[in-house]
Amino acid sequence: MLISLIHNLKNYMYKKINIPFNKPTLVGTEKKYVSIAIKSNMLSGDGKFSNLCSSWIEKKLSIKKVFLTPSCTASLEMAAMILNIQQEDEIIMPSYTFVSTANAFVLRGAKIIFIDIRPDTLNINENLIEPAITKKTKAIVVIHYAGVSCEMDKIVNISKKYKLWIIEDSAQSILAKYRNHNLGSIGHIGCLSFHGTKNFTSGGEGGAILINDESLIEKAEIIREKGTNRSCYIRGAVDKYTWHSIGSSYLMSDIQAAYLWAQLKVAKLIQIKRLELWNNYFISMNCLKFFGMPIYPQYCKHNAHTFYLKCKNRKDCDSFIQYMNKKKINVTRHYMPLHLSPAGIKFGKFFGNDVYTTQISKKLVRLPLFFNLNKKDQQHIIYKVYKFIDNYK
Ligand SMILES: Cc1ncc(COP(=O)(O)O)c(C=O)c1O
């Protein structure tokens, strides 16, 4: 079967085309819902579509309270304010992540304690968390890389033992699971992204904050509304609203929520398509000794957010990227380790040894994977991967 697949691929004639790394998900009904939002005259936050989207996420992911936000970055910033992160507090997180994961806490004056990742899932190494805890530690931030879960049972036990907050940076992991739990529903707070590179988008930018600890809901509501109790006023619970705490403007426009609603309504379809593309890559490349494949523990359900390959070393990775880009297929690396960046050096420190973080950042390459990637284009990509290996010395 494998031989026939290779044969088909080799015989696959294809015109020269550009295949981007990503195209934002587009299902076709976005305009319809955006037009309805425009006609409603309720364009500001928490309109009809915002409520539809937040209720959908609450139900689907079993979350106590969901607020839509302008981005996952904004959600993380909110999380740091809600948890009252202060100057000198220490926050534990992996270095292999996006800048916003750290920046949100640095904005409050906290120090970031970076620790190494696991070589299999590329997630925070749960066994290295406990030794990094000090009297100043306030929270653990986990990132479920590529929609594959961190080892949450162990992390939850550590957080209980030391009374630490857990924030799940679930930017990449909507609808993925750890055992029977939805990612984003396990920590005290979860943060989602609806950026144009994510499985679902609210028109390019967008996010949500997921509050799982009931005691934090009211605080979240106030911080999100510029530090005021405006939400109480809108519900009719008070006759005027006023300034209560620090906060900022963290609402999503209802036009963006309408765009997102079009996609959440067909979430199942989007996920089926993404998983099909992910599985096609996996099945056709698993036999190649040249690359390491993504690894996910059997009890984790990933969400096909990203498909990556691990090259043996930086040289192979550079050559592969160069070859694919020359063939007009846009493949790309991912995070540069935060602890080596100028801001990471200033605002954080790496605890223990960097055994895998830097190594992985040099060897990992992501292939195009998006909802409107058609099967022919994907076969073309796979064919070119095979061609690269055939020709590589
Ligand atoms: C792990 C992680 N956290 C946060 C973000 C920021 O998301 P947003 O662009 O919605 O602010 C990203 C973006 O890709 C990410 O990968």
CA 173 to chain centre: 5
Atom number, ligand 1, closest to the C-alpha of residue 74: 11
Q: Which amino acid is at 75?
A: S
Q: Name the class of domain 30-264.
A: alpha beta
* Amino acid occupying residue 103: N
H or E segment to which residue 114 belongs: strand 111-115
Say if ligand 1 is within 6 A of residue 143 CB: yes
From the CA of 151, how far away is ligand 1's center (Å)?
Answer: 20
From the list 324, 290, 328, the residue with the least C-alpha distance to 309 is: 290
End-to-end Cα separation, the chain, in angstroms: 27
What pTM was estimated for this model as a whole? Answer: 0.95
DSSP state at residue 111: E
* Nearest residue (CA) to ligand 1, atom 16: 98
Cα(9) to centroid of ligand 1, in Å? 35
pLDDT digits (tens, 9 = 90+) for 185-213: 999 999 999 999 999 999 999 999 999 99
* Strand 111-115 versus strand 348-350 pairing type: parallel
Ligand 1 centre distance from Cα of residue 72 (Å) = 6
The pLDDT mean for the chain works out to: 95
| Ligand 1 within 6 A of CB of 195 | yes
- Supply the DSSP symbol for 329: B
pLDDT score, position 21: 97
pLDDT, tens only, 43-95 = 999 999 999 999 999 999 999 999 999 999 999 999 999 999 999 999 999 99
Q: Is 100 in the pocket of ligand 1 (CB under 6 A)?
A: yes
Distance 101 CA to ligand 1 centre (A): 8
Q: What pLDDT, on a 0 to 100 scale, did the predictor assign at position 91?
A: 98
How far is residue 38's CA from residue 191's CA, in Å, rounded to a whole number?
27
Q: Is 123 in the pocket of ligand 1 (CB under 6 A)?
A: no
- What is the percent of the chain with per-residue pLDDT over 90, rounded to a whole number? 93
Give pLDDT, residue 4.
Answer: 53
Ligand 1 atom closest to the Cα of residue 207 is 10
User: For the chain, what are the domain ranges?
Assistant: 2-26+266-391, 30-264
CA of 100 to the centre of ligand 1 (A): 6
In terms of CATH, what superfamily is 2-26+266-391? Aspartate Aminotransferase, domain 1 (3.90.1150.10)
The Cα 19–Cα 379 span in angstroms is 12
C-alpha to C-alpha distance for 336 and 292, rounded to whole angstroms: 19
Give the residue whose CA is nearest to atom 9 of ligand 1. 195
Partners of residue 292 on adjacent β-strands: 310
